Copies of this chain bind each other. A is one copy, B any other.
Amino acid sequence: MNPNYFTAGPSQIHAQFANIYLQGLQLGYGSISHRSATFREIYKHTDLQLRQLLELPTSHKIFFTGSGSEIWERSISNLVEDHSFHLVNGSFSKKFFNYAKGLGKKAAAITMPHGKGFEIEEVMFPENTELICTTQNETSSGVSMPVQDLISIKNRNPNALLITDIVSIAPLSSIPYSHVDSSFFSVQKAFGMPAGLGVWIVNDRCIEKSKQLVTKNISVGPHQSLNDFDTNYDKWETPNTPNVMAIYCLGKIAEEMNQTGMANIQKEIDSKADLLYSFADNNKKYTPVVANKAHRSKSVIVLQCNNSGLLIQKLAEKNLFISNGYAEFKNQEIRIANFPTTSIAQLQILIEELAAN
Q: A66-B67, A73-B222, A194-B244 are in contact. Are A31 and B10 (CB under 8 A)?
A: yes
Hey, which chain B residues are within 8 Å of A29, CB to CB?
Answer: 194
Of A15-23, A78-86, A115-123, A169-177, the one with at least 4 CB within 8 A of chain B? A15-23
Hey, which chain B residues are within 8 Å of A65, CB to CB?
Answer: 66
Please tell me if the beta carbons of A72 and B223 are within 8 angstroms of each other in the complex: yes
Q: A66-B70, A104-B219 are in contact. Are A244 and B31 (CB under 8 A)?
A: no
CA of A306 to CA of B29, assembled, Å? 29
How many copies of this chain? 2
- Most chain B C-beta atoms within 10 Å of own C-beta, residue among A32, A33, A194, A321: A194
Please tell me if the beta carbons of A243 and B31 are within 8 angstroms of each other in the complex: no
- Most chain B C-beta atoms within 10 Å of own C-beta, residue among A31, A32, A73: A31
Hey, which chain B residues are within 8 Å of A241, CB to CB?
Answer: 9-10, 67, 69, 186, 188, 195
Chain A interface size band reads: 35 or more
**Smallest CB–CB gap between A276 and chain B, Å?**
19
Please tell me if the beta carbons of A244 and B104 are within 8 angstroms of each other in the complex: no
Q: Is A294 part of the binding interface, using a Cβ–Cβ cutoff of 8 Å?
A: no
Hey, which chain B residues are within 8 Å of A244, CB to CB?
Answer: 10, 194-196
Please tell me if the beta carbons of B13 and A30 are within 8 angstroms of each other in the complex: yes
CA of A171 to CA of B58, assembled, Å? 45
Q: A73-B222, A99-B223, A221-B102 are in contact. Are A7 and B31 (CB under 8 A)?
A: yes
Please tell me if the beta carbons of B33 and A7 are within 8 angstroms of each other in the complex: yes
Q: Considering the complex, which residues of chain A in the window 157-194 have a beta carbon less than 8 Å from any beta carbon of chain B?
A: 186, 188, 193-194
Chain A residues touching B, majority SS: loop
Hey, which chain B residues are within 8 Å of A104, CB to CB?
Answer: 219
1/0 per residue A1-17: CB within 8 Å of B? 00101010111110001
Please tell me if the beta carbons of B243 and A30 are within 8 angstroms of each other in the complex: no
Q: Is A246 part of the binding interface, using a Cβ–Cβ cutoff of 8 Å?
A: yes
Q: Is A25 part of the binding interface, using a Cβ–Cβ cutoff of 8 Å?
A: yes
CA of A222 to CA of B30, assembled, Å? 31
A167 to B, closest residue via Cβ? B241
Name the 6 nearest CB pairs between A and B, nearest first. Answer: A66-B66, A102-B222, A196-B243, A30-B194, A73-B223, A5-B31
